[in-house]
Structures are given as structure tokens and as C-alpha cells.
Structure 1
Amino acid sequence: MEQEKLNILNEQHETIGVAARSDIHAQGLWHETFHFWLLKKEHDIMYLYFQLRSPAKKDFPSLFDITAAGHLLANEQPFDGVREVEEELCLTIPFEDLAFAGVIQDEIQLPNFTDREFCHVYLYVHPKEQMNIQLQKEEVAGLYKAKLMDAQQLFTRKCENMQLEGFEVNEAGERREKSKLVCIQDFVPHEPTYYQHLFQAIDQLLSQ
């Protein structure tokens, strides 16, 4: 299969070339991604949703992460990223219904892996009581929600753990409701500044 091609960017967010996805990560090159964060209000409490990455994922298996996300290919614009929401969660949401939270630089450095992203971040407050979510099991093992206030406390290091409620789908496709007490190490290690920008944008959206 031909490798996905991504734009290479400099630190000023200017496109300077194109490379295969594997080379982008191997060389720690800046590239663009689409991030979708789902929020929902229940009984006057706002919740933020996290996906549980599949244990089969090459990068960060079985860790909690952004509700839905993916790379933007070299010929794509941010609005093309909404496909990730449909693929991973089976939710069809028009791009114009998303709230733009900005482009956030995020850098994750591990001994054998450097991920440098310009993240096009979007927010969506689901208006309906029911959500018909079906997970793409190759990518996503579960979907969990946390109280927004708890998530803000955890990612600003003001508390050590928080409660998640949600479900997981096993290999047989069976859905199991679950509750978990999690800490910061259970999540993909995005930079603290990423979450600072995210929560500022959420607060601004909810205050409108």
C-alpha cells in the first residue's frame, strides 16, 4: 500500500515540503492534524469525551486520547478532517457546526518517536439526549466521559486522578459499560500548554 503523504511545515506553520507519514514521525517533522473534542451536558453537568485507543494501535495503544483525531494529508484542508469523526465514532456532524478552538502546537518526544503537530482543534457540544455512537474497532476500543471540571483539574495538575464513565467494545463486538479511576499517565502525553489552550477555548465557547 502506498504511504500516506503529509505536508512538512516549519515552526512558523509554513509548508516547506511533503513526506511519507513514516518519515515525518521518524525525523520529527512538523505536520498537521485534525482534533475533534465532543462535549455534552447532562443534568446541568458538562462532560468531555475521550476515546480509548485500540490495543492494536502502533502509537500509544490502550491510552485515552482526543475524542476523534487524525492526520491531514498533503492535499487536504482542516474541513476534510471531519471524516475522522464519522470513521471513528460513526457520528455525522456538518463541519460548519463545529466551533474552531485554534491551531495548537503540540510536541510529544519519546526515546524512539517524535511527534510534532500543528493541531487544528474543533469543539462540538452535542445537543441531543441520545448519541448513536458506533466505534471503529481497529482504531478505538472505547469511549468515556469525564466531568469537564474534573478534566480541567487533572490536566492542570491540580488533582491526581478522575473518574471516567463509558463503554468498551471487545473483539466479538460486545459493548460493556465501564467505570474507571484514571491518572495522567493513562492518557497520551500531550503538552500541558495544549490543554491550557483547549480549556480556554472550551470556557470561551460555553460562556457565549
Structure 2
Amino acid sequence: MEQEKLRILNDQHESIGVADRSEIHAQGLWHETFHFWLLKKEHGTVYLYFQLRSPAKKDFPSLFDISAAGHLLADEQPSDGLREVEEELGLSIPFEDLTFAGVIQDEIHLPLFIDREFCHVYLYMNQEEQMEVHLQKEEVAGLYRAKLLDAQQLLTGTCERIRIEGFIVDANEERHEESIEVGVHNFVPHETAYYEHLFHAINQILSQ
């Protein structure tokens, strides 16, 4: 399979070339991604949604992560990242309906690769009473939500466990609803600074 070509950047977010995705991760080069965070308000409570990564994923299998996300290819703009939302969650949303939360730097260091991202982060408040999602089983095993305040406390380190609710799709494509208790170890290890920026942006937007 032909390698994805991604734009390489310096730490000032200036484009300095193009390289294969595998080379970028092996060398820890800065590149760009699209992050989509889904929110919903019910009975005065705001919820933040997390996807459960498929157990078949090479990186971070069976961990909770951003509602939908993906790499931006060398010739793409942030608006092209919307394909990830459609592919992973089956949601068709116009780009103009998203709220820009900023470009956040995020680094994840693992024994075999270093992931350095400039993340173009967007928020979407779902207004539908019933949200119809269709998960891409190769990528996503389930969709869960946490109360925004609970998620903020857990992911910025001020509490150890929270309760989340959602569903998982099994190998027979049957959907199982559940409410479970999770800790920070159940989530992809994004930097605390990433989450602090994210929640600051969310709370600022909600207060407008």
C-alpha cells in the first residue's frame, strides 16, 4: 500500500517539506491532524463524546480517544478532515457548523515512535434529539460520553475515576449499551496541556 504523504513542519508551525507517515512517526517530525470533538447538551448538562478505538488498531487499541480524528495529507486543509467524521461516525456535518477551538500542539512518546502533532481542533454541539451514528468497525468499536465537568477533572488530573455511558459493537455487529467506570489509563495518553487548552476553549465557547 502506498504510504500517506504528510506535510512536515518545524516547531513554529512552518511548512518545511513532505514525508511518508511512517518516516514522520519514526523520526518524531511535526505534522498536522484534524480533531473533532462532539458535544451534546441534555437537561442542562453538557456531555463530551469519546470513541472507543477498535481492538484491531495498531496504536492504542481499545482505548478511549477523540470523537473522530485523522491525519491531514500534504495537499489538504482542515476542512478536508471532515471525512474522518463521516467515515468513523457516519455523521455528515457542514464544515461551517463546526466551532474552531484552536491549533493545539500535542506530543506522545512511545518506545517505537514519537507522535508530534499540530492538531486543528473543532467542536460540534449536536442539537438532534436522537443522534444516528454508524461506526466504522475497522477503526471504532464504540461511542461513549462523559459529563463535561467529569471529563475535564479526569483528563487534567484532578480526579482518578469517572463514570461514562455509551455502547460497544461486538464482532457480530450487535450493539451493547453500558455504563462503566474508567480512569485516565483507559484513554489515549494525550498531554495534559492539550486537554487544558481543549477544555478552556470549550468552556469559553459555552459561556458566550
TM-score range, shorter chain: over 0.9
Match of 2:186 in 1: 186
Q: CA deviation at 1:197?
A: 0.4
Q: After superposition, what is the alpha-carbon deviation per residue over 1:127-179, rounded to whole angstroms, capped at 9, x for unaligned?
A: 11110001000000000000001011111211101001000111111111011
TM-score using structure 1 length: 0.99
SS at structure 2 position matched to 1:56:
coil
Structure 1: stretches of 5+ with no match in the other structure: none
The letter of the residue matching 1:35 is: H
CA distance in 1, matches of 2:75, 2:18: 10
d(CA) in 2 for partners of 1:200 and 1:67?
A: 18
Q: Does 1:39 align with 2:39?
A: yes
Between the aligned partners of 1:20 and 1:197, the Cα distance in structure 2 is: 29
Q: Which runs of 5+ in 2 are unaligned?
A: none
SS at match of 1:120: strand
Please give the residue correspondences for 1:97-176 in structure 2 after superposition, counting only pairs within 5 Å. Answer: 97-176=97-176
Note the 1:81-100 alignment, pairs <5 A: 81-100=81-100
Correspondence 1:17-56 to 2 at 5 A: 17-56=17-56
The CA deviation string for residues 22-64 of structure 1, in whole angstroms up to 9 with x for no partner, is: 1111111100000000000111110000000001111111100
More divergent stretch after superposition (75-84 vs 152-161):
152-161
Secondary structure of 1:3's partner?
Answer: coil
AA aligned to 1:162 is I
Q: What amino acid is aligned across from residue 156 of structure 2 in structure 1?
A: T
| Residues matched between the structures, number | 208
> What letter corresponds to residue 33 of structure 1 in structure 2?
T
The residue that corresponds to 2:75 in the other structure is 75
Aligned mates of 2:6, 2:151 — CA distance in 1: 31
Distance 2:17 2:49 in 1: 34
Partner of 2:201: 201
Alpha-carbon distance in structure 2 between the residues aligned to 1:41 and 1:111: 39
Task: Report the 3-state secondary structure (helix = DSSP H, G, I; strand = E; otherwise coil) of the residue aligned with 1:111.
Answer: coil
TM-score relative to the length of structure 2: 0.99
| % identity of equivalent residues | 75
**Aligned positions of 1:9-20 closer than 5 A:** 9-20=9-20
Moved runs in structure 1, 4+ residues, more than 6 A? none
Alpha-carbon distance between aligned partners in 1 of 2:18 and 2:156, rounded to the nearest angstrom: 35
- Structure 2: which amino acid aligns with 1:203? N
Q: What is the match of residue 7 of structure 1?
A: 7
Q: Which amino acid aligns with 2:102?
A: G
Partner letter of residue 39 of structure 2? L
Matching residue's letter, 1:115: D
Q: Which amino acid aligns with 1:139?
A: E
